[in-house]
Amino acid sequence: MPLKKFKSGTSHVGIIQLVSTSFHLYFFIITIKRSDMNTRRKFIKTFASSAFAIPMAVQAGTGIIAPEERILPQEKVLRVALMGLGSYAGRVADAMQACKRAKITGLISGTPAKLKSWQTKYGVPEKNCYNYENFDQIKSNPEIDAVYVITPNALHRDQVIRIAKAGKHVICEKPMGINAKEGEAMVQACKDANVKLLIGYRMHFEPKTLEIVRMRSNNELGKILFFQGLSGFRIGDPGQWRLKKDLAGGGAMMDIGIYSVNGARYMVGEEPVWVTAQETKTDPQKFKEGVDETITFQLGFPGGAIASCLSTYSMNNLDKFFLNGDKGFGELQPATGYGPIMGRTHKGELTHPHVTHQTVQMDEMAAIILDNKKAIVPVDGEEGLKDLKIIDAIYQAVRSGQKVTLKL
């Protein structure tokens, strides 16, 4: 199937490469024809991981691998243990059933009953299941390549550092930690252990988002002057961990405002150099000290663009990005929900088909970890750390009422 795609969409160079590859292969096969089965098996294995492997097709304009082309049968698959079997982990686990390059091979949970039911549902053997006390033992488990941390925010730092020390790659949910100091320690621990650290920024693989990023970087929007990010929802149950500072690290900003922080950076395509911010609180009972309810913030970029953003836990229907340049605009609404994402630019509606974000994210992350593929919009630890530095500065600007300078 990838062969067909390669043939049909192709240049002369492509045809010559194909002919030359087939020619070499013909002689290679003739040479090994008389040898034994083991040699042939070895050849097939070598071929699969060699430069002969035909490149996969990419979705027009986005650089991400088209769903039907996401794997060559011989490609390596990322074997992932999920940590924290809560509501988002359930969504990830279901989405991963359609992955071509990532699969669930382990589970880490503090709730034995969940471990049992998830084991059955996702076909994970007992020997690959752990709790928060003993998960360092994954070090000696050859069936797990990476752990996906999907627990409350304030637990991420220690969990990520332990996974790195166990020699496994880490995918960590946003926010990667609860302040920049934590983020720095996590990045360093993964560097020291020589493992990759990726942050669960699923929008970085979403086709309509990537189309606006592509148009902006191709100068189709002209000089970028303004970004607006609106991120919020009305939060329910006052007893949940998201409203506890010791587990959440903050309030709406940590949970949903981070989408506007991160979005401002990848939509404008620059790193901000200053921030100002203002907080309002209508319900100090529900949103206690250190748990922000609503924050408006502004970012200034070196090229002269400004961003104006809202983060809130007290209003629904707030999920919008708007990017404006002197030649055109790009708009997403909804911009960061589970989809379908809707968008348009000055050239018209964006019509890229909906993809399940977590399926594409996990296939792309497998390619980043296993093949060193570069994401169009980075998803590494440094990317998560930049967002935490901005969030630290937003909180500082709220406290001081002053403009805070950023050095990212």
> Which residues form the interface with ligand NDP (CB under 6 A)?
84-89, 109-111, 114, 150-153, 155, 173-174, 200, 202, 241, 247, 255
Burial of 44: CB neighbours in 10 Å, binned 0-12, 13-18, 19+: exposed
Q: Which one-letter DSSP state was computed for residue 56? A: P
Nearer to ligand NDP by Cβ, of 38 and 87: the residue is: 87
Nearer to ligand NDP by Cβ, of 83 and 221: the residue is: 83
Least separation in angstroms between CB 145 and ligand NDP: 20
DSSP string, 119-137: HHHHT--GGGEE-TTTGGG
Residues 6+ apart with CB under 8 A from 309: 227, 228, 229, 230, 231, 257, 260, 261, 264, 296, 297, 298, 299
- Nearest one of 137, 78, 72 to 105, comparing CA atoms: 78
| Residue 352 region by backbone torsions, left for phi larger than 0, else alpha for psi between -120 and 50, else beta | beta
Q: Which of 100, 130, 148, 174 is catalytic?
A: 174
Nearer to ligand NDP by Cβ, of 158 and 271: the residue is: 158
Nearer to ligand NDP by Cβ, of 85 and 360: the residue is: 85
Least separation in angstroms between CB 195 and ligand NDP: 20
Active site residue 174: yes
The residue at minimum Cβ distance from ligand NDP is: 86
Least separation in angstroms between CB 398 and ligand NDP: 21
| E strand or H helix that includes residue 61 | none
**The token pair that represents 263 in the structure block:** 């979005």
Q: Please state the three-class secondary structure of 348-388 as a single string.
A: EECCCCCCCHHHHHHHHHHHHHHHCCCCCCCCEHHHHHHHH
Least separation in angstroms between CB 170 and ligand NDP: 13
Least separation in angstroms between CB 243 and ligand NDP: 12
The residues annotated with a catalytic role in the active site are 174, 259
